[in-house]
Amino acid sequence: MNEKTKIKVNDLYKLCNKERMFTCGTTKQYEKMFELAEAGITRMELAYILYLCSDYRLDVIYRWITPLFECDWKCCHCGTGYRESDPVQCAEYMGSCVCEPCAKKDFIEKDGELVLKPKKEDKKQWDIEAK
């Protein structure tokens, strides 16, 4: 799977401590791994990072991190995966789920439905139609 998923730092931290991973890396490398995981990372990218800074085989690490990438739903706009236990709300957009950060940033409510905000060049036409 090459889809990037945002990983909760706390979940990754707990897994690293439990399995004694990342014992061969520096504090700076550890911080960078968490930054990448929080921003969105593929399963293989994270496995390679952990492999380079751990004393375990790549296939073992890959198996250990797999549960971190399982999600209950994905935002149809940004592709971020979420678990039902995440504090992110799902909004409906054309029959699909949109995460709350995307809904706030890229969508507006019009006639009781969620619609994409118009681009700058479309804004004048949007304003005319709204009047």
pLDDT digits (tens, 9 = 90+) for 103-117: 778 877 777 777 777
Q: Give whole-number Cα distances, 124 to 65, 114, 131, in Å.
A: 48, 20, 11
What single DSSP character describes residue 67? G
Question: What are the φ/ψ torsions at residue 114 (nearest 5 degrees)?
Answer: -85, 125
pLDDT classification of 79: cutoffs 50, 70, 90: confident
Query: Tens digit of pLDDT for each residue in 32-71?
Result: 999 999 888 999 999 999 999 999 999 999 999 988 887 7
pTM, two decimal places: 0.59
Question: What are the φ/ψ torsions at residue 24 (nearest 5 degrees)?
Answer: -105, 5
The share of the chain scoring above pLDDT 90, in percent, equals 37
